[in-house]
Amino acid sequence: NAMFTWQRTAYHFQPQRNWMNGCAGPLYHKGWYHIFYQYNPDSAVWGNITWGHAVSRDLIHWLLLPLALVPDRWYDVNGVWTGSATRHPDGNIYMLYTGSTGNLTQVQNLAHPADPSDPLLLNWVKNPANPVLLPPPGIGPKDFRDPTTAWLGPDGLWRVAIGSRMEKLGITLVYKTRDFLSYELLDHYLHSVPGTGMWECVDFFPVAVNGTKGLDTSAAGEGIKHVLKASLDDTKLDHFAVGTYDPVEDLWTPDDPKNDVGIGLKYDYGRYYASKTFYDQEKQRRILWGWINETDTEFDDLKKGWASLQTIPRTVVLDGRTGADLLQWPVEEIESLRLRSYCFESSLAPDVFKVVYGSSIPVVGDEKLQMRVLVDHSIVESFGQGGRRVISSRVYPTKAIYGDARLFLFNNATDVNVKVKLKIWEMNSAFIRPYPLDQL
């Protein structure tokens, strides 16, 4: 196994061993950030999906906790799949998740912390009323998953969105509920896009037109746009669009129909899927998690004993300069890992630009071209123009550590002098290890 150990990252979230895919129900609670994640405790390949659980003070260093939810009921025996947390004004946390039943039907279930005053939220209780939602008529039993965080409408009822499809039409169903136990399905979709297929892990959240603060999921009205995101099962890409939400009609419309969900912008133009945001009420920011599917052949994954990691959490805001993009930026806490810093001023580096993944970045007004790159062993996350375009990728050079590591800048502009400023930080490792429960 030693030959695969060096590929593990040093400051991206990943469990100590076995398979992980998308994150579920992230939230901030009593001083701790919580991440739950799709986890196979028994093997490095997908299956037996449970909710792994970890907590952090700063979104960088993590303490791994016992499993939060395991597939032990008829309504989730084939997997405790993705879901979302809603922090209710009544002080409780409503965790909605998809269960895959004994006959592989997708149903929605409700769980609560056994003790909401526990900052670690160690124990979870499945509601005796489960399942609380079955696939409605006309929806395939395997096309009904990944409930969103709920948001409160002007009529005092909560809304929950769930991705699905009608043949090739990608759709978002909306339910209204008062108590998270009984639900009313709206007679229309929040939105739909022909040709996009099954929408997984739908996310729906408000962004401020002006300013850099994040908004609570229920915020709506003047000066607020709404982002709709779907993870497209057919292409395994996370697509979003910025649009306008009518909270009375429960309809969302893209600002630019040519840039609709699934045919326009992506969160990330690299290896990235099944993302989810949450509102951090402590620092008033919206944080985005995404899954970097770091898998190889099943044979290799089993041999190395682990697969996949999560991106560095990113803040998301509307790009005030274009009004049409989002800006994603690594949370400020990542800077606490910076050790030594290097600063170079150089110029004129004409050469050929070679990319594996690519995307164009709008550079507006008098902006300079900017790029921030996080390198963590084989994982490289790049943020262009303050996060207007992002690419996560896996890079496997020959082993190059310490003095053997090199950074090259290429510039393929012709007939211009290019002035480049480069700032390099050597990064520390994050700690990600079991919570010392025996010391409680």
Q: Report the interface residues with ligand DQQ, using CB under 6 A.
A: 21-22, 38, 49, 81-82, 98, 145-146, 200-201, 231, 273-274
Nearest distance in Å: CB 88, ligand DQQ: 23
If one counts every other C-beta atom within 10 angstroms of the C-beta of residue 70, the result is 18
Nearest distance in Å: CB 362, ligand DQQ: 29
CA–CA separation, 99 and 112 (whole Å): 15
Residue with smaller CB distance to ligand DQQ, 200 or 325: 200
116: closest CA among 149, 91, 89, 87? 91
Residue with smaller CB distance to ligand DQQ, 177 or 308: 308
Strands (E) across 320-418 are located at: 326-330, 338-347, 371-376, 379-384, 389-394
Nearest distance in Å: CB 434, ligand DQQ: 23
Give 171's strand partners.
164, 192
Nearest distance in Å: CB 200, ligand DQQ: 4
Read off the amino acid at residue 366: D
Residue with smaller CB distance to ligand DQQ, 240 or 245: 240
366 phi, psi to nearest 5 deg: -95, 20
Strand, helix or coil for residue 86: strand
Block residue for tokens 């509601």: 127
CA–CA separation, 62 and 74 (whole Å): 32
| Token code pair at residue 146 | 């990944």
295: closest CA among 306, 285, 284? 306
Residue with smaller CB distance to ligand DQQ, 196 or 385: 196
Nearest distance in Å: CB 68, ligand DQQ: 15
Residue with smaller CB distance to ligand DQQ, 84 or 385: 84
Nearest distance in Å: CB 49, ligand DQQ: 5
Residue with smaller CB distance to ligand DQQ, 11 or 81: 81
